[in-house]
Amino acid sequence: MPVVKARGATKKLGPVNFGNNTVRFKAEDSHFKVHEDLICSFSKRLKIVLQHNRKNIEDDCSICHTLMDESKGNITFCRSDCGQNFHYKCQKKWTREQKTCPMCRATWENGHPELDVYFENLRLSAVQKYIDWIYSRGSLDCLDHSDDSLDNHSKRREFFENALYLHTVGKTLEDDEFMERIARGIASAWAKIAPEPTSVNDIFGPTSSRFKAFINSLYMNPRIHESSRQLFVRGLIPNMRKTDDFPLRQTFLKDIAMGFLSMMEQKASMKDAYPEYLELVGEDEENGESEGGEGNEDDDSQSEDEMDIDLGASRNGEGSGL
């Protein structure tokens, strides 16, 4: 099976070596073959699964005693307990005479040529876009939008659906950089559609609980950079005031409050967002009785599954096939 590579224009970020080993992982009924070193440099989860014992590349090659530089040649490593790195060319020459690791003398293993890594609940199109992105580090077409590309409900829904599926891939594979890219795309789109109160209802209305949970999860995710979180604070919360649906705002605030409680240890990252939260809560408490505070009963009946949807497989591999 050919290696899945990026399509279209690429963004050059200097020399990149993908390594010599490839692995396959499965989404829906399709297999994707990717370079192991490349995807492990992005995905913390696959790094743990495939290269958990690998040492950082920071020393000289133990065979030729010269500096190892990934930009100048492929580097391999011992898959036994020692995890030592070597120049790929040096290791190939070494194993022509000895089939052992130069450091620990364990039998040399040449990677995982037949290994299949399977994750459930990943959309095929989103996985393909993710693989294109890690090879190119270019744009994500589904997150690029013009001023008129989000001008109706169906277009907005399609945009956020694509973002939801991409975010699920990033969260499942534990790729912080990709999740940050999705967060900035969402923030940019929200800045254009938030002035319309109907757009708030599209995402946070009672029939869109998956989107609401997605935005809440994204906003509260401690992995997302503070700059992206502040885009939400400046763009999302102030524009929530523009809708007349008071119970809807309260539901959102309740979810955010639960998120704050779950990340109290992240006080430094909460510092700027918390005053905005207090300001909005104070405004709603003052207007609660006059704007229909009794509407909270419907919101309280919302299932826990709707409020705390797990958008990716758990890290311990439950339901992932690992």
29 versus 43: the higher-pLDDT residue is 43
217-266 pLDDT, tens per residue? 666 666 666 666 665 555 555 555 555 555 555 555 565 555 555 544 44
269-305 pLDDT, tens per residue? 445 545 544 554 454 444 444 444 444 444 443 333 3
CA dist., res. 119 & res. 134, Å (int): 18
Residue keyed to tokens 């995807």: 39
Q: Among residues of the chain, what percentage have pLDDT more than 90?
A: 8
Contact call for residues 204 and 248 (beta carbons, < 8 A): yes
CA dist., res. 186 & res. 141, Å (int): 13
In 3D space, the residue among 322, 236, 273, 286 whose CA is nearest the CA of residue 46 turns out to be 322
139-151 pLDDT, tens per residue? 777 776 655 666 6
User: Could you tell me which residues come within 8 angstroms of residue 93 by beta carbon, excluding any fewer than 6 positions away?
Assistant: 63
Reported as a pLDDT band with limits 50, 70 and 90, residue 58 is: confident
Contact call for residues 270 and 226 (beta carbons, < 8 A): no
| Mean pLDDT over each residue of the chain, to the nearest integer | 67
> Looking at residue 149, what is its pLDDT?
62
192 versus 128: the higher-pLDDT residue is 128
104-160 pLDDT, tens per residue? 999 888 766 556 677 777 888 899 999 999 988 767 777 766 556 666 667 777 887
Q: Where are the domains of the chain?
A: 140-307
CA dist., res. 129 & res. 142, Å (int): 9
| DSSP string covering 43-109 | -HHHHHHHHTTPPPS-SB-TTT-SB--TTTS-EEE--STT--EEEHHHHHHHHTT--B-TTT-PBP-
